[in-house]
Structure 1
Amino acid sequence: MSYDEELKPEAENDTPLRAGLPAWTYGNAEMLELEYQRVLLPSWQIACHVSDVAAPGSYFTLQLMRDSILIVRDETGALRAFQNVCRHRASKLLEGEGRCKKRIICPYHGWNYRLDGRLAAVPSEASFPGLVKEDHGLRQVDLEVLHGFIFVRVAAADDPEGGPSVADIWGDFAKLLAPYDIPSMERLEESWEDIWEVNWKVAIDNNLENYHIPIGHPGYHRMLDNDLLGEANAHGVAYSISRMKDRPSSNWSERHYQALSGKALSHLSGERAKRWMFFSMPPNLGIDVYPDCVDFFQILPLGPKRSKVRTLVYGHADSRREMRALRYLNGRINGQVAAEDFQLCHRVQQGLGSHGYELGPLSEYETSVRHFHDLIHEAVPGSRLPEPPAPGELAKLDREHYQD
């Protein structure tokens, strides 16, 4: 099959999809601030896996631009999420991940909180006349678990119901995760983070389409029959399924993965031994399901043209030599893919600064990109402006829109 035949959409409509976000939105500080308020804070953000906070007192922190979120398992075994901020003078309470004993203690003045968030003790409490400790517990953050992954939400949506749950957002697509028993998995390696000098939406756009795989990811093209179109639900969750080719790849890592998978994955039923699934969840999450492991990656903005890509990998306990080798090869293959995405996104960020550039038409294979752009347009009305607005104009449009 030729490259052109592979890329021919099945849709009968030959009209190119309309362009989305103007180039200026990929590097404007005021735009990013509104995206943070209107898109990221009301969205569900993945934090970690239940195994990362398995024992009472274990905790995990997630930094979302200005907001730090603390996930902790309390003494009853319940999972809780709080703003990672002391109620006294706003000091950050905990860093990274780890385990505290029975209290969360502020490193500034020693205010300490029970694992359920209640304020337990205040040094020199008599110097705070009228202090009611019950009024100064840690502020809770919404938390939900889906197939072992812990999601948090800083600010509920404007919807009186607070917006859809994670389960509602995934809908029937969550059933595709069920056979892998993700809740019983454990972390396979330390979390991996990388800084990309690109606007976060550049990286998201890249993740939302498979159109670039045959050219941008030759390894995937050699090794897998890739579904370039995929499927999406009404909430924007999308997935595609790629299947391992029977023909051995010319690349050493890919060829050995193909050969070894039959031995290491003989316990898997049906097509799961040969199936790689790729999921995306708005606005900034990807989950990759391989037969040997599962990972999630999250794209977090750090500035108008700076982002953090955060990845964690999980799998079932399996000390067999074949499985260790298979996971090593998976890491080599997907490490190369990540490096390719890094280069592709930096090329795009550079090109967006070209004088007079306007986004071209989108393919049927880039429908999820259009849906993501629609999400941004709806949340930030000023993003529809064809030219960069004057300072303060975006905020003005935002106030007018949300006051109506």
Structure 2
Amino acid sequence: MTTPTLPADFCGNPDEAFTIPAEFYTRQDVFEVEKERVFANSWICVSHCSELAEPNSFITREVIGESIAIVRGNDQVLRAFYNVCPHRGHQLLSGSGKSKNVITCPYHAWTFKLNGQLAFARNCIEVVNFQNDKFELSPLKVEEYGGFVFINMNPNAESVESQLPGLAAQLRTACPNVEDLRLGARFVTSVNANWKAVVDNYMECYHCAPAHPGFSDSVRMDTYGHTLHGNWTLQFGHAKSSEKGYSFNDATSNRAFSGFWAWPCSMFNVPPGDDFMTALYEFPVSADVTLQYYDVYFLNTELTDAQKKLIDWYRDVFSQEDLRLVESVQKGLKSRGYRGQGRIMVDRQRSGISEHGIAHFHQLVGKVHSAS
């Protein structure tokens, strides 16, 4: 079976656009193309910079089947490596935390400096022509950008700014203290949906009124808009305090919601308030599964009762609303009753409920799958 392609100008006319065909969400061969063309060649956001602020701190992430270790050396330099021992392939680190001054493989106890150099291999002096410098950890590119950490598997990749020009500056405008935030809560979910279905859901607020009553009661849709900036977009709307969603008082300086999407599938939300934001990291696993990290960040580390209540709302209400939606969509896309493509509801005025964000995203996807 031939892997399907799309015209290079797919969704070129947003006003009359239809979605990408259902098979682009469900076929594994399509996903294999995206693994190489998108995720092995794009800057992928993996964490907030605070998780790697201290010397010897590390995190691990799974991205398209690759385990990646990101480490802050005792020289303060941030580095990323494929999380695999060059001896026999065993993974070196798991989870996150603080390493010692070396990384020790659990299998045969080879040890590596935090800059990736092999420090010691047991019995190596008895091995003919053993050369330490031939067994360094395999690096990949890593950058701190806008308060967050990005990795790229393409050794020739240009900067994050070149992929997402202007995003860091706009993030800091929306959240001036973005780099001072700390992780308050994280929900990790294996979502039974294609990564593009997750992005589609984020790229429109057409569903907000019926599916997010708390959010809709907090954000004034008459002021809501979605602006497109190439590989990133911004959804913005003025907010009002609500017991169903975001609650704030007259002293709050930020009384707006700003939602940023960054290619390919990272989302950063700056809700009304002066001390927190959320981030969604989507790590595709297969055509039908996406691993989601849903992080909530605050300025303080000792959480207040109000912040704990907000975390409960994100975990039990808001995030669950979206998870149910995208998993239902993934099932529906496989139905013989679905006609293969859906109309993208782009209105003339590009209002707050217009789906022009989806048309924009599908234009980018079309270029990935173009035969030309």
TM-score interval, normalised by the smaller of the two chains = 0.7 to 0.9
Asked if 1:374 corresponds to 2:336, the answer is no
Given that 1:103 and 1:112 are in contact with CA atoms closer than 8 Å, whether structure 2 keeps it comes out as yes
1:133-172 matches, cutoff 5 A: 133-156=132-155, 162-172=156-166
1:3-402 matches, cutoff 5 A: 16-156=15-155, 162-178=156-172, 179-189=175-185, 191-226=186-221, 228-234=224-230, 236-245=231-240, 249=242, 252-254=243-245, 257-258=246-247, 261-262=248-249, 266=251, 269=253, 272=254, 274-290=255-271, 291=273, 292-317=275-300, 324-335=304-315, 336-355=317-336, 357-364=339-346, 365-381=354-370
Distance 2:109 2:20 in 1: 47
Larger mean CA deviation between 305-314 and 113-122 belongs to 305-314
Larger mean CA deviation between 109-118 and 177-186 belongs to 177-186
Given that 1:237 and 1:279 are in contact with CA atoms closer than 8 Å, whether structure 2 keeps it comes out as yes
Report the equivalent of 2:3. Answer: none
From the superposition, tell whether residues 36 and 15 of structure 1 become closer, same or farther in structure 2 (CA, over 3 Å).
closer
Given that 1:199 and 1:305 are in contact with CA atoms closer than 8 Å, whether structure 2 keeps it comes out as yes
Given that 2:267 and 2:280 are in contact with CA atoms closer than 8 Å, whether structure 1 keeps it comes out as yes
Secondary structure of 1:16 counterpart: helix
Two-structure CA RMSD over aligned residues (Å): 2.2
Distance 1:82 1:338 in 2: 31
Q: Bigger radius of gyration, 1 or 2?
A: 1
Distance 1:48 1:245 in 2: 30
User: Which amino acid counterpart does residue 171 of structure 2 have in structure 1?
Assistant: L
User: Which amino acid counterpart does residue 180 of structure 2 have in structure 1?
Assistant: S
User: Which amino acid counterpart does residue 60 of structure 2 have in structure 1?
Assistant: T
Report the Cα offset of residue 164 of structure 1: 4.4
Report the equivalent of 1:391. Answer: none
From the superposition, tell whether residues 367 and 225 of structure 1 become closer, same or farther in structure 2 (CA, over 3 Å).
same
Secondary structure of 1:194 counterpart: strand
Larger mean CA deviation between 223-232 and 338-347 belongs to 223-232
Secondary structure of 1:347 counterpart: helix
Given that 2:184 and 2:301 are in contact with CA atoms closer than 8 Å, whether structure 1 keeps it comes out as no
Distance 2:216 2:43 in 1: 32
From the superposition, tell whether residues 109 and 318 of structure 1 become closer, same or farther in structure 2 (CA, over 3 Å).
closer
Given that 2:225 and 2:236 are in contact with CA atoms closer than 8 Å, whether structure 1 keeps it comes out as no
Larger mean CA deviation between 51-60 and 372-381 belongs to 372-381
Given that 2:193 and 2:327 are in contact with CA atoms closer than 8 Å, whether structure 1 keeps it comes out as yes
Secondary structure of 2:355 counterpart: helix
Given that 1:210 and 1:229 are in contact with CA atoms closer than 8 Å, whether structure 2 keeps it comes out as no
Report the Cα offset of residue 134 of structure 1: 1.5
- The TM-score with structure 1 as length reference comes to 0.80
- The TM-score with structure 2 as length reference comes to 0.86
Distance 2:305 2:162 in 1: 37
Larger mean CA deviation between 371-380 and 29-38 belongs to 371-380
From the superposition, tell whether residues 168 and 15 of structure 1 become closer, same or farther in structure 2 (CA, over 3 Å).
closer
Report the equivalent of 1:4. Answer: none
Unaligned 5+ segments in structure 2 are 1-12, 347-353
Greater helix content: 1
Identity, in percent, stands at 26
